[in-house]
Chains A and B, each alone.
Chain A
């Protein structure tokens, strides 16, 4: 499932870049982080309990920085394994300076498998959207903390959209 969006921050690009590149600060942004340890500047690991209402989904997630071009582009892979689910996520963002602040064009390709998948897409897609929203909102706060207030979180809803639909083998 691919998700993408645009987001505006009332903060200089360097500030946003620092937040996005600092594992410790990203830990603040991710939902349900219980522990977090950095192996090196390209690899880190988080144990999370993603709150799903009916009970939280425990996962241990390995992050790997795939590519970065300071201060505008970065790509990251996250592989999560847990009892209920497996997650593979590749996400990237592009920062550009826009009217005094920073614009972030981002996209993510999320793939979820395992028992949680057997509950059906009708719940998976909304859940992914939901988590993305929370990350973005938290990111606003984090950027604000790092200096420069964040814009109203409505920026999130604006850009959020599904890039492509599932292609069913019998749908063609």
Chain B
């Protein structure tokens, strides 16, 4: 078919017209090969302008379109839509930025005009190599897989489950509720945990839109946003295949193992416990020494493993205050001493909680080089004095660290972990609960140490993300400008596969070539640049297209 390229130059009111001699540009451009028509317009992005464009495309039967106007970041989408309406494949169009990067930055009109002409020529040199790209639509499954039946997982499930959205909640232990089940009360309100947890669990178990698997494990997840297939090994040891559109990772945390630091004497001396062990003792109402006697003096050691792990676990201080309350409630005369390196009670409520607890006669001592011996604690005070503190029970508050199976899960889901081993968010601020894999979200302590309130906030954030992005019946429109790999040229070295951040390239063992999953591909082009033989290329940014652009720009 005869190619006919249309070139339209936008005056953008005075913005471009004043600084670029548009007629001059038109003059040069008109003479170029296969340019069918060159016209100017006051404001192409206006309703009137779009109408004019659409008509011109149809009347002149344009096969390709170049528009010189503002930045593609401004109006590329706008004009692509016009192309579509006019029946021209929107990728056979190139927007030339002669406003932000030309008219507005060059005072001298002659130079600006020369620049504008150059840009338009470059686009014209490139456009013959544009390929029409198809717009694809895929169904999107609204159902959700939630991994981890702790408070975060429960909250997420409850928020998401509904008549048109099933939730599959997978818990590796035999019960829902996670670590929270062992807590009698919650700081700072000291309200009973049951209030919060019991009825939530009940709601989960009663909801017909939530399917709970306990003693279960996720064996594998493949797919992409809107279309994941998960294999779940149930308590009955059968393997179920579950289709979902999104996955929420709420696998919680483990405690730092205090035996790694011998000076804390954990598992060496009697009556040295971790916070979780203490919660349990408290819940069972048996806070007793090995010898069966109630404790008279108790030390709570903060920041256990803080240095080793390299971060503050954010919750230990507040629950230590809670522990003090537990103790004071049971044994009014018990002596409670908190030994900390840094005290962290942020937020609008904890300061008060701290002061009240202190007022109950609970000691707070800034101590270093703590060493626990039989019934006595050696430490250095702030002013470097060595001190001995006689106690008959010690509670350690070990750092919160990623759960033991985090790496396995990360690998299975192709999501990344941060240097501490927690699941990494896509961006601290731009995507705090998203991951490198579209459709896979993280919440609660799986993403980093945080208290229950914050975990619930994240649960709601995730729910919000999913509810707004995966509306039942929605079709997904994956990126059209993806990478592609030429079967003929690929030698199967899999370099592309190694540099792809999205697991969007897989290797076809039979053909021995790499293949792009066009739905996972985000179109960055890293693979294309990494491929020595030019087998991988990025649609709409192919080597040839870019090369042509460069050559013409340098003409």
Is B one of A's binding partners?
no
Q: Which residues of A contact B (CB under 8 A)?
A: none
Q: Which residues of B contact A (CB under 8 A)?
A: none
